[in-house]
């Protein structure tokens, strides 16, 4: 069976492998116009775009991405995402934001998990660079970003999510970690609490350092002490947060309120408080599913992790297509207190 162009002239057998020239012939346009249309060039008119899409549909044309990569030297259409803990729902939402943006632009996402290990982060990025993917969004495992310069030197742009660049010039998307922790602590102070504990994150991470700084700054402004025994910033999971909270509550002079440095720490603290039927106030950074079902009031510093991911993917898209300014850019995601 033969397929004809828009004038009725036969151009290709239905059982053959259609090419871009076949699409161009069917649409009555040049191969260059077809190529520009399939790349998403906004300069292509709506009429020509419709002709190309119709031809692609009729002919069943699919771009040969392998050949395209060989010609260009890059695996176009693939972006990487490196996170520190896929088990945390926060990173699942961030990944969803990256994937949604990528899908809108005809891209696929390759995800790697570092478990907060810098060596693993280096390995993943070296692997991504060797695959010659378009670029990568990275949630850094530490404040050492020197290896990212080598990655960029290989032609693979990198955008940081959740931390600013150190010793390198990179685009980044940040959350107002300091402001959120400061507001949470002030809420407790305004409610009359003076003996407040903080369950934080490792301070070699930007989020950990900034959220701790927000807590201590609010306490200092109120003239309150923050003894080391009331601050723990080495909590890796919910179980540890529950254990640490239990130890705090079992003291002779337990805290009357607790600030959770992230959703895992808040959930662990809640379990210990509920287990002991303690009347301890609880606030925390990051929203989480079923927070509204807890049997006590809770305030969280909330923001949209999906927005964080999509914003990072947008910055990366600009770098890949060389439409971004030379100087590094930073996007800040706002935080709002949410009461349950």
Rounded to whole angstroms, the Cα distance separating 12 from 32 reads 19
Residue boundaries of the structural domains of the chain: 2-63, 73-175+306-334, 177-302
pLDDT at 299: 97
pLDDT at 19: 80
CB hemisphere CA count around 92 (13 angstroms): 5
Rounded to whole angstroms, the Cα distance separating 51 from 114 reads 45
pLDDT digits (tens, 9 = 90+) for 22-37: 888 888 998 888 877 8
Rounded to whole angstroms, the Cα distance separating 37 from 20 reads 11
Question: Does pLDDT of 289 surpass 50?
Answer: yes
Question: Is the pTM above the cut of 0.85?
Answer: no
- 282: region left, alpha or beta (phi > 0 left; psi from -120 to 50 alpha): beta
Question: Does pLDDT of 298 surpass 50?
Answer: yes
Alpha helix (H) ranges present in 251-304? 263-275
Rounded to whole angstroms, the Cα distance separating 201 from 101 reads 29
**Token pair recorded at residue 234:** 């080495």
pLDDT digits (tens, 9 = 90+) for 186-245: 999 999 999 999 999 988 889 999 999 999 999 999 999 888 889 998 898 999 999 999
Asked if 73-175+306-334 and 177-302 have one fold, the answer is yes
pLDDT at 13: 44
pLDDT at 17: 67
pLDDT grade for 16, boundaries at 50, 70 and 90: very low
Among 3.60.15.10, 1.10.260.40, 2.60.120.560, 3.30.930.10, name the CATH number for the domain at 2-63: 1.10.260.40
Superfamily of domain 177-302: Response regulator (3.40.50.2300)
Question: Does pLDDT of 72 surpass 60?
Answer: no
142 neighbors 186 (Cβ within 8 angstroms): no
pLDDT at 62: 65
Rounded to whole angstroms, the Cα distance separating 65 from 62 reads 9
């Amino acid at each position: 069976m033969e397929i004809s162009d828009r004038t009725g002239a036969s151009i290709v057998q239905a059982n053959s492998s259609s090419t871009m020239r076949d699409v161009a012939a069917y649409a009555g346009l040049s191969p260059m116009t077809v190529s520009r249309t399939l790349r998403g060039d906004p300069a292509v008119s709506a009429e020509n775009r419709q002709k190309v899409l119709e031809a692609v549909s009729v002919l069943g044309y699919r771009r040969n991405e392998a050949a395209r990569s060989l010609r260009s030297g890059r695996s176009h259409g693939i972006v990487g995402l490196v996170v520190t803990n896929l088990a945390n729902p926060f990173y699942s939402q961030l990944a969803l934001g990256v994937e949604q943006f990528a899908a809108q632009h005809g891209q696929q996402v390759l995800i790697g998990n570092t478990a907060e290990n810098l060596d693993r982060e280096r390995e993943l990025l070296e692997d991504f660079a060797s695959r010659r993917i378009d670029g990568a969004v990275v949630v850094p495992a530490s404040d050492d970003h020197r290896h990212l310069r080598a990655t960029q030197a290989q032609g693979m742009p990198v955008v940081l999510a959740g931390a600013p660049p150190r010793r390198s010039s990179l685009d980044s998307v940040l959350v107002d970690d300091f402001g959120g922790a400061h507001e949470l602590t002030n809420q407790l102070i305004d409610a009359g609490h003076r003996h407040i504990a903080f369950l934080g994150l490792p301070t070699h991470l930007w989020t950990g350092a900034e959220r701790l700084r927000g807590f201590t700054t609010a306490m200092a402004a109120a003239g309150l002490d923050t003894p080391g025994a009331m601050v723990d910033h080495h909590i890796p999971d919910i179980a540890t947060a529950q254990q640490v909270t239990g130890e705090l509550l079992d003291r002779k002079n337990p805290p009357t309120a607790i600030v959770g440095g992230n959703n895992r720490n808040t959930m662990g603290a809640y379990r210990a408080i509920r287990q002991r039927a303690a009347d301890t106030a609880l606030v925390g950074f990051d929203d989480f599913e079923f927070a509204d079902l807890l049997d006590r009031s809770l305030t969280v510093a909330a923001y949209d992790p999906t927005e964080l991911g999509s914003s990072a993917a947008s910055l990366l898209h600009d770098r890949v297509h060389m439409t971004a300014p030379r100087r590094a850019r930073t996007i800040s995601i706002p935080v709002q207190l949410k009461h349950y």
